[in-house]
Structure 1
């Protein structure tokens, strides 16, 4: 088959919706063009009912047979092809950034590319009045329900393959790739086809060496200062290792220091349960201690299935807290169960968070 004429099998019955931003833009052009919304609603129903047969796409047109209760109709949607000058400007935008062609090869339409094309005067995506329809039915609406059905299914094709839009504008995949060849350097398609190479291992972290010594100064606790310097060094190494800068939270920082630096615990006046929680699981455990939350239906169903699979006793459930006598598990948003034990009427973190509620409940013993 000619590469400039592509056939796509009928979708069949089923409710679908355009998901990509460019598929939605196609439908928006259809809706903005229509003078009457009733045929659009009927066309959507026809599309979902599988009444559109094989779709053929070629430069400037999409065609299909659309079935109706009374007859079958030949339906065409026309799209203006780009001129040679417009293609030259568009391909220049594709070649200007290797990531544009790589995204297209990965069946994605970068919004940045569409914006750059528009800035260069190239109408890549259709707008009001750009979808010109014709149909053998006697309906006078533009578009009629059969053309609307075809346009809806065309948006599903665009979702799966943005090359369909470029073919409608006049050129197939191979022509676009050839036209986007850079004037120097490595061809984008060749670079994209190269296997991903592993990055070299990070160098080992440098030895921090001995902690600095400080001359005693009136009112300065040298031992505390030494601990703070060591903590700052540890935080800096964590930032280098993860690339993430921790959020500023003075209270959480005090809890962390009290949990990790016992010599500072009495000086920081921190709730001992918060310290225990941090030792149990860091910031997530602290949040589980202090903030109950309500899982959605899917998370609750997964939790119920895990609980039943462990053959555990029936719990009393309140939001994310599942209680069995003096033992309690608190479900975190990441799916882990944090064990707790009732001590003199107060729930204390105990044990290690687990994915398996049976293992976590055992850890409260």
Structure 2
């Protein structure tokens, strides 16, 4: 938790659980805390959901859908979704294999969370690299934040590139002793919202070098062009054939 050491955070024990607060109360408290910290020069990166949906584009939708298909998370996801939609995730940072966040709950100050994602299996990494390099338009689409439909299975299959529960490890300073608390669930949903804005964060989180994918796709395209250039098709005539054809 070194990242948040300077945030003047108090640890909350399970013996001092705060009283229930309404959605409006928590939301106002979150906004006030963000403003208070901004006045001190500490700028957070809150997750703001403007509509009824956390995500609307392929990346965000599939991230959330991946979470919801695992029974391990079923009990806590609905409450976590509500926390996310109501602005309780007041800071979110995504790095390679790591998510760090602050979530405002019923306590006076936000809870510190850290979620670690296991490094992607190298077989998967090589597979996606090869699949992408076969078609440069796939990589072009990925860089633009779009998703090529012919690659959906590679990403979203049961053992695809979206992380499974066994690859996700989390810690929250809240007093909830459940396997997954609502604060962790809210942060996982918040990642989906962020992927709507910047899909390349998915590659960053999973440790996939998108620049390497682009270069491999370009190299593959160039190799194909050079290989085709060396092949003489039936429509290409040698000089002798042309002379004979036109009786020169």
Q: How far has the Cα of 1:34 moved from its partner?
A: 5.0
Query: Contact 1:20–1:159 at 8 Å: present in 2 too?
Result: yes
Cα distance in structure 1, aligned partners of 2:57 and 2:167? 19
Equivalents in 2 of 1:43, 1:137: separation in Å? 14
Provide closer, same or farther for how the CA distance between residues 13 and 122 of structure 1 changes in structure 2, counting only shifts above 3 A: closer
Q: Match of 1:10?
A: 46
Please give the secondary structure, in 1, of the residue aligned with 2:147. Answer: coil
Q: Once the two structures are superposed, what CA deviation does each residue of 1:187-229 show, in whole Å capped at 9, x if it has no partner? A: 9xxxxxxxxxxxxxxxxxxxxxxxxxxxxxxxxxxxxxxxxxx
Q: Which runs of 5 or more structure 1 residues have no equivalent in the other structure?
A: 1-6, 188-365
SS at 2:171's partner residue? strand
Residues paired across the two proteins, number: 180
1:41-76, Cα deviation, whole Å (9 max, x unpaired):
221222122111221111112111111121421112
* Partner of residue 147, structure 1: 184
1:94 aligns with 2:143: no
| Corresponding position of 2:93 | 56
C-alpha contact (below 8 Å) 1:25/1:126 kept by paired residues: no
d(CA) in 1 for partners of 2:100, 2:135: 34
CA offsets 1:299-325 (integer angstroms, 9 cap, x no match)? xxxxxxxxxxxxxxxxxxxxxxxxxxx
Q: Is contact 2:47-2:92 (8 Å) kept?
A: no
Match of 1:73 in 2: 111
Instruction: Sort the Cα spacing of 1:113 and 1:73 in 2 relative to 1 into closer, same or farther, 3 A.
Output: same
Match of 1:362 in 2: none
Change (3 A) 1:175 1:74: farther
CA contact 2:49–2:193 (8 Å) conserved in 1: no
Distance 1:8 1:125, change over 3 A: farther
CA shift in 2, pair 1:186/1:104, >3 Å: farther
Q: Which has the higher contact order (CA 8 A, sep 6+)?
A: 2
Give the whole-Å Cα distance in 2 for the aligned partners of 1:13 and 1:106.
22
**Whole-Å Cα distance in 1 between the matches of residues 212 and 205 of structure 2?**
13
User: Alpha carbons of 1:100 and 1:8: their partners in 2 closer, same or farther (altered >3 Å)?
Assistant: farther
Matches within 5 A, 1:141-220: 141-183=178-220, 185=222
Gaps of 5+ in 2: 1-42, 225-248
- The alpha carbon displacement at 1:40 in A equals 2.0
Report the TM-score, using the length of structure 2 for normalisation: 0.61
Cα offset, 1:127, TM superposition: 3.9
Alpha-carbon deviations, 1:22-46, whole Å to 9, x = none? 3223223323335464532221222
- Structure with max Cα Rg: 1
Q: TM-score, normalised by structure 1?
A: 0.43
Change (3 A) 1:154 1:88: same
In the other structure, the counterpart of 2:66 is 29
- Distance in 1, matches of 2:202 and 2:44, equals 14
